[in-house]
Structure 1
Amino acid sequence: MRRVDVVYTLLVNEEGTKILMVKNSGRDTWTLPGGAVEQNETLEMAAIRETKEETGLDVEIQGVAAVNEGVFTELKQHVVFITFRGIIAGGRMEIVRPDEILAVDWIDVEQADELMPFYKEKLKDIVRRDAEVAYYDEGVMTK
Structure 2
Amino acid sequence: MKLISIFIVFLVVGTLKVQGQTAQDTLDIKKVALAYIESQHNPNPKQMEDALHPRIVKRSVFKSKKAKKDYISEFSAENLVILAETYNANGDKFPKNPKKEIKLLDVSLLTASVKLIADEWFDYMHIVKTNGEWKIINVLWQYNNVSEHQ
Please report the TM-score for the alignment, with normalisation by the length of structure 1.
0.33
Larger Rg: 2
Please report the TM-score for the alignment, with normalisation by the length of structure 2.
0.32
Q: Which has the higher helix share?
A: 2
